[in-house]
Amino acid sequence: MSHTIIDVDAAKSIEATVKELNLPRLPLIILLGDFDPNLSDQVLSICSRVIAPSALDPGALVLDDARSSGCAALMGQAALDQDKMPQLLGIIPKDRADSDIDPNHEVVLRLPDVWSDSPKWTFQIIDELAKDGANPTPVLAVLFGGKDPEKKAVIRCARRDWPVLVISKTGGLADQIIKAKTPPTDGTVPTTPLDPELREIVETATIYPASIDSTADDLARILLGRIDAHPETLAATLKEVWSRLDELDRAAMLRQKRFRRIELALIILAVLAALFAILTVTNVIPVAFVTFLHEWYVPVGTLHFLVVLTPIAISILSAYNSHFRDGTKWILLRGAAEALKREVFRFRSRAGAYSDEQCLLNSRESKLAARVKDITSSLEQSEVNKINIDKLPPNDDSRESFLTPDEYVDNRIHDQVSYFVKKTRALSRQLSWMQAFIYVVGGTGTLLAAFHKDPWVALATAVVTAITTKLQADQVETSLVQYNQALTSLRNIDAWWKALSRWEKMRRKNIDLLVDQTEKTLESETAGWVQQMQSALDKLTEKEPAKTS
């Protein structure tokens, strides 16, 4: 097979050179390797059964050094054996002999003499190939064995945050990396490599370990998971989860409103019952006023009717509240909605269980679907099963994409900080005026007792009891404490993230720590709120705690 050698013009920009190639925008697979020739058959098998088919479907551009030996030659042979030739691009230095160029590479870029540092310019060309607006093309390096040149190449990948699939049992650098990354079986702390370049790789590179003995299915799953961005699957998964979350959120708000109305009605009726009872047993209403009311069509016996009706209304509302338990359903729905939101943000930030390293054999989407099932399944065993949850269409396409760390901070931390600031301000005002009102009414009751207005002392006591019950039911003081604690923690996390250098913000362990601490803070706040609210509701309804799972 003949190949086309294109001499790169040093006078042109790399962008212009890449543009002239007119290559389609595809994910990139970089082949790196220097291994024992005795392994050639096994490496050829991986190229033939995994890399070449993946380059055809879903599609990728394979880049290597186009040598007539090593993994480049084996890749060329594997490509030639396919029914359709995948796209191979070789990048070679100027002094490479024609006899040392693999003939199965259809396009070969030859660097100019003045570009003496071939790896440097090679990676700059790859940088340009990977550019695709705001969403860079996925890049994956595959390492077989390797020596010093491959070590420098892996470092360049690490500094660009490109993952590396390291094939163990191929000797050289690959085995060194796997050994350094594998924790000791005796539980001791792993030994830090003495070689500074190897140490940088171990500490900063995103490594996907595999073995030359791994099955083709396992290797293909890892490789496809990195180069097949499948945006339609991502969008569909997030759209479905956001829809479920919105449904639970709306259902929770509806139950909350209903519960608050019933709660307020019961409190008002309790105060009115005390007032009507006092009016019945005392003659505090002037006769002239009573006559005036009767003249305006207020029937005689209305007060007695209200005295009888008020307890009946209280009994009906209490029975409804005890049976339908809208407050409990609100708490369960809110807890599930917040749990779903935490999973969505972990997923969108690709942190923890959704990181590349932990999604080698199972996709992120399948993991998220499993977590959604676990969260919503608990609702199936609760009282929420007795209500209808309307399905809502998705309303925001911007929520269906991954987030950079800074976008996560803005969308998650800053948003929650803003929410907690508003809630703490409102709760603080509510607590202050309600406590002040309790003191005023209590003092008024004492004053009435001093003037021997004993019946009205009962009304003051009823008002104080009603307000106290409202505070306990709403858990105002406890919620204020928990919100302030969460607010302080989130602000501390935000301050820590802002203090990191640009390099530190790129490190995976710091990104995982950012997301983990944020979501744990919010999870702790939600769990505390759910527990306190459930306890308060159980006291109000005098029932056993509701089952949550």
Structurally, at CATH architecture level, domain 4-229 sits in 3-Layer(aba) Sandwich (3.40)
Q: What are phi and psi of 208, to 5 degrees?
A: -110, 105
Domain spans of the chain?
Answer: 4-229, 232-541
Cα(314)–Cα(269) distance, rounded to whole angstroms? 7
* pLDDT tens digits, 454-477: 777 888 888 888 888 888 777 888
Position 125 pLDDT exceeds 50: yes
* pLDDT tens digits, 360-408: 777 888 889 999 998 888 887 777 777 777 776 666 666 778 888 999 9
Residue partners of 377: CB distance under 8 A and separation at least 6: none
Q: Where are the alpha helices (DSSP H) in 162-195?
A: 172-181
Amino acid at 178: I
Cα(81)–Cα(105) distance, rounded to whole angstroms? 13
Q: Which of 1-10, 65-74, 419-428, 483-492 comes out lowest in average pLDDT?
A: 1-10
Position 12 pLDDT exceeds 80: yes
Containing 33, the helix (H) or strand (E) segment is strand 28-34
Q: How far is CA 23 from the centre of its chain?
A: 35
The closest alpha carbon to 170, from 134, 210, 114, belongs to 210
Sheet holding 88-92, edge to edge: 4-7, 107-110, 88-92, 61-64, 28-34, 139-145, 164-168, 207-211
Average pLDDT over residues 86-92: 93
* pLDDT tens digits, 267-301: 888 888 888 887 776 666 555 555 555 555 656 56
The reported pLDDT for the residue numbered 548 is 41
Which pair of structure tokens corresponds to residue 535?
Answer: 């306890």
Other Cβ atoms within 10 Å of 372 Cβ, number: 21
Position 507 pLDDT exceeds 70: yes
When pLDDT is cut at 50, 70 and 90, the band that residue 45 belongs to is very high
Q: Which of 93-102, 293-302, 475-484 comes out lowest in average pLDDT?
A: 293-302
Cα(247)–Cα(393) distance, rounded to whole angstroms? 9
- Cα dist. 12→8, 321, 453 in Å? 8, 77, 99
Give SS3 for 30. strand
The reported pLDDT for the residue numbered 170 is 95
Cα(103)–Cα(431) distance, rounded to whole angstroms? 80
Average pLDDT over residues 82-90: 92
Amino acid at 350: R
Beta bridge partners of 180: none
Other Cβ atoms within 10 Å of 296 Cβ, number: 6
Position 546 pLDDT exceeds 70: no
Other Cβ atoms within 10 Å of 341 Cβ, number: 19
